[in-house]
Structure 1
Amino acid sequence: MRLVKSLLLGSAAGLTVVAGAQAADLPVKKAAPVEYVRICSAYGAGFFYIPGTDTCLRVGGRARFEATYVQPLIRGDTTGYRGLGRLNLDARTQTGYGTLRAFVRFELASRTGGFLKSGTQERIANAFAATGVDTSARVQQYVNVDKAFIQFAGLTAGRAASFFDFYAHDFEINAVSLGSDVSSTNLLAYTATFGEGFSATISMEDPNFRKNPIFGNISAALTSTTAAALPVVSNLAPILTPGQGLGFANLDVIQRSRMPDFVGALRYDAAWGSAQISAAVHEVNTGNFVTTGPLNGNAVVRARTPSEYGWAVQGGLKVNLPFIAAGDALYLQGAYGEGTTVYTGIPAYNGTYTLTGSATAGIFNQYYADAVVDPVTGRLNLSNSWTVVASYLHYWTPEWRSAFFGSYGEISYSQRARFNSALLNVGGLPNPVTAPGGLAALAFSPVLRDSNQIVAGGSLIWSPVKDLDIGVEGLYVRQALNNGRIIDPNKGVAVNLATATPAQIAAAPKLNSQDTFQVRMRVQRDF
């Protein structure tokens, strides 16, 4: 028995020695060192190094809920809702030329209700609408590459906020006051810094996000009697055969992208606040005349409306007011432009990229055309517009704050171009020569009237913890004519100005202005 036990122990020991010898001959594979995420403190809080690189990255975003109540009804709705998500990616690398930065922001939203659904965003392809019987014009999905730009050695290239803008509705829960705020456009810009806090920027920007429609799609034939009321000067070479009438070819007024907008800005930043002066040049153009055959048996008219160059200037001032309360600040801004309504921001509340807009369910339509085609001269007559805005942010306590803002703007048109358009019944204007109401019919028409608008409001926001806002905002809007009145379509029997008699026009109810109010609330978390 002892012999067997000795043999077994000896065999086990021998096997152990052999196994150890064989293991010693095998290569040893060392575990790869773990590369932990390192904090990058060079660019502020939240940045970390992308593993294996010297690039710092910050990931951030936003979640938001909104609800609104509006009076009077918008498309029959009084309430609307919106849920929004945002994702930010900010990558920075230090180079011998300074910081190389790439920034990307995506926004996704679901909007419902006749007001929070945004026609503006559909018109620039940032949103798509529902088509159901009960959801059409009331439900909308919003998808937007809000930012995607590169910054390097003073160069900014990509999709970014326009360098023309200054205040850009910074203190408002929703961007509602008048004034320019194109937060997403395609551009190539260079910024130079000099002195103590001064910077100057020259920017070449996408014109498509600064175009409002042109008024004047011409399609008409006048009698020789009416034609006698027209001025003799005309570069359209209209064809007039006695007894047959005056003919014009259709005019394609859809603007083309022929040249970029050029923007320049001079800015100063200091501890007390900042100031900026900016200017822009914007081409306003049309397509060719569309002709399908001879007019009145004569040769076809082939003429092209020459382009005009609109321009805008803006001045802005921001003053920090820490002596009132920490975080308090005041913005003041004013803008003036010709043929540049999106630069002055006169249509900012009612909807950009559309010829008309109304804050009162279509009762009072305000016109926002960049230009009017005079059908007699064939030239573009640029509209004039201007806006002013003031906005004040006040902290009652570190957790409670309010914003108070007010804005006013006016837009006006060439009255000669309006009268000539009426002679050809362009755009629904009643002909003062052939209409039974005569000049009165034109005087009470809402089309191309000089008008003004007030947008004012205030908010109260509670931030119980950092980066969480719970707030409510009230808003008042008033649209009005600069002078005169229009027929009120909301009272009495509808009046057709093209056929109404002077007595019918005189008896019809009229108005000079309309106003509305709304209340919005928001819950928002930034991270």
Structure 2
Amino acid sequence: MKLAKSLFLGSVAGLAAVAGAQAADLPAKKAAAVEYVRVCSTYGAGFFYIPGTETCLRVGGRVRAEFRYLEPQTRLDDSIGFRARGRIQLDARTATAYGLLRTFVRFEITRDTGSYGFSTSTPNVDQAFIQFGGLTAGRVVSMFDNADLPTGHMGTLRFSDAPNVNLFAYTFSFGNGFSATISAEEGRFAGTNFGTTPFFTEAGQTAPDLVGNLKYAGTWGGVQLSGALHQIRSADLVPVGLGLFDYPDAELGWAIYGSGYVNLPMLGAGDALWIAATYADGALGYLGAGSNVTVGQVRGFLTDAYIGVNGDIETGAGWSVAGGLRHYWTPTIRQNVFGSYARVEYPNTPPAGFVGPFDLDFNEWRLGTNVFWSPVSGLDIGVEVLYANIDTSAPEPIGVNNNIWEGRLRVQRDF
């Protein structure tokens, strides 16, 4: 019995040894490596490496809640309104042998009611662009404007206030803060008529606006000088003699812009003073207005051009200047004081077919201030008051109001 038991145990041990040797010869499956998200500090806070790539990504956004009071002119006018705006943005950057490759996209949806206008929810591709070395292509702030200005206002000031446009641009960096940019941009148009009577019909655009700038940014502040050329073509047939009609020759509108800001650390950390001035002839869209400027019950019309009595294209002209001061009373409480003045003029040649005095020149000025409290980083709670006034060279009926008061309350979180 003992012999049989010994033989049985020996057989089991032998089989186990053989099975173990065979198992050792089989390929072993390794556990999958865990890939952790790595912080990318090259481009600032909030960036991380997309796993498996050398591309750094930052996810950000904004929520803005705003309440607006606008002095009503009639009983039908809304004097109050609400705005809610949501923003999501992605910023992807990759270092290459040719320089930085950057892709940026920003989506916004705004819900306005009351004094903000019609009750609408408006989705918007606010920005979407690619940068590769000196090339910028897509939708981004116009190269005509200085996006670095520390403006800080909520309401409207009358100057070219960094609108987003579609463009193809190239920037030459010279070092020590100096750069120059040339850009082909979507046309920036003012209105094409006065009121409801057309005096100029825009023809199809055959050339983009050409924009260029020279810029310097340093520790003390920065300056920028910009210029733009704007094509003016008419679709209106005009008499050329002997009962014949033809289109007038195209004209070239233009605009020039200068701006600058100075940091004022002697007053307080973060304090700054800024100014921006624009002159435009035949390119009034660069003044920061659309087809008209309305204050109270008075409206000033803008048009790049119109057809004169001689059948030629006549251009409107105008200029604007804006400026402001930002001051931090404490590290969390800041105040902005700002204002603007704009003047638009037309030659004293009445448009063809115009009945009555051609007297549509106007000037407008605005003045305001706000105070923001930022209890934590990225959160702004602010109030603003703004006054605006307009005067036209045409006689105004008695009792017509040409000035307004406006107030806003804003809560905003950026992340």
TM-score (norm 1): 0.72
Counterpart of 1:334 in structure 2 is: 277
Counterpart of 1:391 in structure 2 is: 324
Structure 1 distance, partners of 2:366, 2:15, is 93
Q: Cα distance 1:320–1:172, how it changes in 2: closer, same or farther (>3 A)?
A: same
- 1:450 aligned onto 2:386: no
Q: Cα distance 1:8–1:515, how it changes in 2: closer, same or farther (>3 A)?
A: farther
Counterpart of 1:139 in structure 2 is: 119
Letter in 2 for 1:101: R
1:463 Cα deviation from its structure 2 partner: 0.3
User: For 1:464, what is the secondary structure of its paired residue?
Assistant: coil
Aligned 8 A contact 1:251 1:290 in 2: no
Aligned 8 A contact 1:218 1:251 in 2: no
Q: 1:471 aligns with which of 382, 395, 402?
A: 382
Deviation string 1:140-187 (CA, Å, 9 cap, x unpaired) is 112111111111221111111111112687433425111002431111
Counterpart of 1:197 in structure 2 is: 177
Q: Which runs of 5+ in 2 are unaligned?
A: none
Q: Cα distance 1:73–1:30, how it changes in 2: closer, same or farther (>3 A)?
A: farther
Counterpart of 2:157 in structure 1 is: 177
Counterpart of 1:275 in structure 2 is: 223
User: For 1:343, what is the secondary structure of its paired residue?
Assistant: helix
Q: 1:257 aligns with which of 191, 197, 205?
A: 205
Aligned 8 A contact 1:217 1:252 in 2: no
Deviation string 1:438-462 (CA, Å, 9 cap, x unpaired) is xxxx3xxxx7511011111110100
Counterpart of 2:268 in structure 1 is: 325
- 1:369 aligned onto 2:303: yes
User: For 1:31, what is the secondary structure of its paired residue?
Assistant: coil
- 1:344 aligned onto 2:287: yes
Structure 2 distance, partners of 1:12, 1:85, is 73
Counterpart of 2:190 in structure 1 is: 212
Q: Cα distance 1:7–1:514, how it changes in 2: closer, same or farther (>3 A)?
A: farther
Q: Which runs of 5+ in 1 are unaligned?
A: 118-137, 220-249, 292-297, 433-441, 488-508
1:288 Cα deviation from its structure 2 partner: 4.8
Letter in 2 for 1:409: A
1:265 Cα deviation from its structure 2 partner: 0.7
Q: Cα distance 1:478–1:3, how it changes in 2: closer, same or farther (>3 A)?
A: farther
Aligned 8 A contact 2:238 2:246 in 1: no
Structure 2 distance, partners of 1:517, 1:4, is 110
Counterpart of 1:294 in structure 2 is: none
Aligned 8 A contact 1:167 1:333 in 2: no
Letter in 1 for 2:79: T
| Superposition pairs of residues 59-78 of structure 1, within 5 angstroms | 59-73=59-73, 76-78=77-79
Counterpart of 1:502 in structure 2 is: none
User: For 1:40, what is the secondary structure of its paired residue?
Assistant: coil
Find runs of 4+ consecutive structure 1 residues off by over 6 angstroms. 1-19, 216-219
Letter in 2 for 1:269: A
Deviation string 1:122-141 (CA, Å, 9 cap, x unpaired) is xxxxxxxxxxxxxxxx2111
Structure 2 distance, partners of 1:290, 1:52, is 65
1:53 Cα deviation from its structure 2 partner: 1.0
1:318 Cα deviation from its structure 2 partner: 0.3
Structure 1 distance, partners of 2:152, 2:196, is 41
What is the RMSD computed on CA atoms of the aligned residues? 3.0
Q: Cα distance 1:10–1:195, how it changes in 2: closer, same or farther (>3 A)?
A: closer
Aligned 8 A contact 2:194 2:302 in 1: no
Aligned 8 A contact 1:284 1:308 in 2: yes
Structure 1 distance, partners of 2:231, 2:314, is 13
Q: 2:344 aligns with which of 387, 396, 411?
A: 411
Structure 2 distance, partners of 1:406, 1:160, is 25
Looking at secondary structure, tell me which structure has more strand per residue. Answer: 2
Structure 2 distance, partners of 1:9, 1:52, is 54
User: For 1:408, what is the secondary structure of its paired residue?
Assistant: strand
Structure 2 distance, partners of 1:523, 1:206, is 33
Structure 1 distance, partners of 2:2, 2:112, is 90
Looking at secondary structure, tell me which structure has more helix per residue. Answer: 1
Counterpart of 2:395 in structure 1 is: 485
Deviation string 1:40-93 (CA, Å, 9 cap, x unpaired) is 111111111111111111111111111111112585211111111111211111
Aligned 8 A contact 1:251 1:287 in 2: no
Letter in 2 for 1:178: R
Q: 1:358 aligns with which of 294, 297, 301?
A: 294
- 1:312 aligned onto 2:255: yes
User: For 1:180, what is the secondary structure of its paired residue?
Assistant: coil
The aligned length equals 413
Q: Cα distance 1:252–1:71, how it changes in 2: closer, same or farther (>3 A)?
A: closer
Aligned 8 A contact 2:192 2:200 in 1: no
Aligned 8 A contact 1:252 1:289 in 2: no
User: For 2:330, what is the secondary structure of its paired residue?
Assistant: coil
TM-score (norm 2): 0.90
Aligned 8 A contact 2:325 2:338 in 1: yes
Aligned 8 A contact 1:112 1:140 in 2: yes
Letter in 2 for 1:320: N
